[in-house]
Structure 1
Amino acid sequence: MNKNGGVPRELLDDLTAEFASLRALITSGTDLRRPTPAAGWDIRAGVSHLIGCDLAAEQAIATPGAFRRARPATDEGLAALLESHITTRRDLSAERLRQEWADAFAAQLKAFQSTRRDQEVPWFGPPMRPATLATARLMEYWAHGQDVAEALKVARLPTDRLRHVCHLGFATFGFSFTHRGLPVPSSPPRVELRLPSGRPWARGPEDAHASITGDALDFALVVTQRRHRLDTSLTCRGDVAEQWLAIAQCFAGPPGPGRPPGEITQ
């Protein structure tokens, strides 16, 4: 990648590693009809969704005008578009699905490598910088990878790539409230986490009246709505911290229902 490109090499490497980690779980012999913890989604649906969004990201970067013209104007339209990503690939063999997936990811990666740092990329919401979109794609790969791993009853070894998911989770603090028509608290909590390597990771004002502490994995699971906050070991102090984790959402689309407490235990 051009050193002046819009996405740091380290981030693209981590995105590629997240893709490879999930792809290694899904072989030509995988039962794609196996349900995941995401209600109504099987493994095929998760992969098909990732393919569709990879292709959408490539289009948004390469031909932003065409992306804007095709982008749904309502949540209902967006839901229909996302559903089409799944239905159009419903009858593909595992091998054909894997090939489409590899091709879509390669096209997306090439598009990211062509971006400029000051570029604004349209998306399903406000436009964003290429690095932010790449982080969002990594977050989706990690979250859907979690679904697939749980469907296959495979324990994934967490890595420090979680820091990207945690960053996006913190950055969408205000979005989580406004997305539900709620007033945004005047200040976010202080978030202090431990990455899988043991390294500390922190965001937010040091003198905040509210705080969240614990493992980065738990925080990532909550902000991607893969765990209820009560099914983690996160420690919250202050009403703002509790309110946020009850509605935290770091992905685009309609407000997600989250997971009920006790549905999945670690």
Structure 2
Amino acid sequence: MDISRALDVLEETATVLDRAVSELPPRRWLRPTPARGWSIANQIGHLAWSDSMALQAVQRDPEFAQFVKRVLSSEVSGFVDRGARERATLPVPQLLREWRAGRSELRDALAVADPAARVTWLGPPVLPRTMVASRTVETWAHALDVFDALAEDMPATAGVQVVAAMGVRTRESSFRARKIPLPEAPVRVELTVDGGGRIAFGQADAPERVLGSAWGFAAVVTQRRNIADVELETVGDGAARWMRIAQAFGGAPTNGPTPGARLAWHQ
């Protein structure tokens, strides 16, 4: 997928969420979401904040480079929640405008970025195409938080395939973050997508498997669903262990929901 198509997929994912929240009266932006302590306004505030951080990174803003150094040296903490909280206090129309403007600016900056030049980030430096994929994963995951809070099904987007690919790519880091040895047996992932298509990752003759829906896999690796609540099955102990700790995003290791926890939001 080239950068132009990847940016289209990112914007498609954001637009699905934008349409859902833009129709809500301001009081419903205060509705809690499955993310503890976060309202819908916090979710949008977080995306606006993280888009602004990504824009600073792509533009190689010296202040952002200094911020990363402070984060890596543990001089600052709680900045993710703080960024979401600060924006969540804005009037809804202003928050929406800032989120939309930030998405547009980031898209323009990534479209012209040197594809071979790595960008400083909150972790290892990344290529622009990886930055786009990471933004898609984060946008998709937080969109699902909002749709769960509204007890609505999230519309299908091509973003689910990007999330699935990132989920496979982060298999090793999911184990490493927990200081657990990576199982030796390779895993083949075979998934169905909306419309009847199929995507697959890994060796065709791998002895272990993860099989099922791309949506279910994406929801598990972003820790928005327990594997017991989606159309997904594993073959082999290593594959099963992976799905219990899968984490398609960076940061400290976290745990996904217990069986049924997220489905309860739809009752």
Which TM bucket (shorter chain)? Answer: over 0.9
Contact 2:44 2:88 in 1 (8 A): no
Whether 1:183 aligns to 2:167 is: no
Whether 1:261 aligns to 2:259 is: yes
Q: Classify 1:155/1:77 alpha carbon distance in 2 versus 1 (closer, same or farther; 3 Å).
A: same
Larger deviation, residues 121-130 vs 170-179: 121-130
Whether 1:244 aligns to 2:239 is: no
Q: What is residue 102 of structure 2 aligned with on the other side?
A: 104
Larger deviation, residues 181-190 vs 49-58: 181-190
1:131 maps to amino acid: R
2:72 maps to amino acid: A
**Structure 1 outlier segments of 4+, above 3 Å:** 74-78
Q: Classify 1:141/1:183 alpha carbon distance in 2 versus 1 (closer, same or farther; 3 Å).
A: same
Q: Give 3-state SS (helix, strand or coil) of 2:21's partner.
A: coil
* 1:40 pairs with one of 32, 37, 42: 37
Measure, in 2, the Cα distance between the counterparts of 1:226 and 1:61: 28
Q: What is residue 197 of structure 2 aligned with on the other side?
A: 199
Contact 1:61 1:112 in 2 (8 A): yes
1:218 is displaced (CA, Å) by 0.3
Q: What is residue 22 of structure 1 aligned with on the other side?
A: 17
Measure, in 2, the Cα distance between the counterparts of 1:10 and 1:231: 31
Q: Give 3-state SS (helix, strand or coil) of 1:235's partner.
A: strand
Measure, in 1, the Cα distance between the counterparts of 2:174 and 2:74: 16
Whether 1:173 aligns to 2:168 is: no
Q: Give 3-state SS (helix, strand or coil) of 1:191's partner.
A: strand
Q: Classify 1:203/1:26 alpha carbon distance in 2 versus 1 (closer, same or farther; 3 Å).
A: same
Q: Classify 1:259/1:131 alpha carbon distance in 2 versus 1 (closer, same or farther; 3 Å).
A: same
Contact 1:75 1:254 in 2 (8 A): no
Q: Give 3-state SS (helix, strand or coil) of 1:257's partner.
A: coil
Q: Give 3-state SS (helix, strand or coil) of 2:131's partner.
A: helix
The aligned length equals 260
1:133 is displaced (CA, Å) by 1.0
Q: Give 3-state SS (helix, strand or coil) of 1:32's partner.
A: helix
Measure, in 2, the Cα distance between the counterparts of 1:187 and 1:108: 39
1:63 is displaced (CA, Å) by 1.4
1:7 is displaced (CA, Å) by 5.4
Q: Classify 1:7/1:67 alpha carbon distance in 2 versus 1 (closer, same or farther; 3 Å).
A: farther
Whether 1:61 aligns to 2:61 is: no
Q: What is residue 86 of structure 2 aligned with on the other side?
A: 88
Larger deviation, residues 112-121 vs 61-70: 61-70
Deviations 1:117-172 (A, max 9, x none): 21101211111111111011011111111111111122222233311110000000
Q: Give 3-state SS (helix, strand or coil) of 1:190's partner.
A: strand
Measure, in 2, the Cα distance between the counterparts of 1:98 and 1:242: 40
Root mean square deviation of aligned Cα: 1.8
Measure, in 2, the Cα distance between the counterparts of 1:148 and 1:154: 9
Deviations 1:29-49 (A, max 9, x none): 241110111222110111111
Contact 2:210 2:232 in 1 (8 A): yes
Contact 1:7 1:130 in 2 (8 A): no
Identity %, equivalent residues: 33
1:74 is displaced (CA, Å) by 5.5
Contact 1:160 1:197 in 2 (8 A): no
Q: Give 3-state SS (helix, strand or coil) of 1:155's partner.
A: coil
Give unpaired runs (5+ residues) of structure 1: 1-5
Contact 2:16 2:155 in 1 (8 A): no
1:57 is displaced (CA, Å) by 0.6
TM-score by length of 1: 0.92
Q: Give 3-state SS (helix, strand or coil) of 1:127's partner.
A: strand
Contact 2:187 2:203 in 1 (8 A): yes
Deviations 1:182-237 (A, max 9, x none): 11223441000001121110001112121000000000000000001111121100
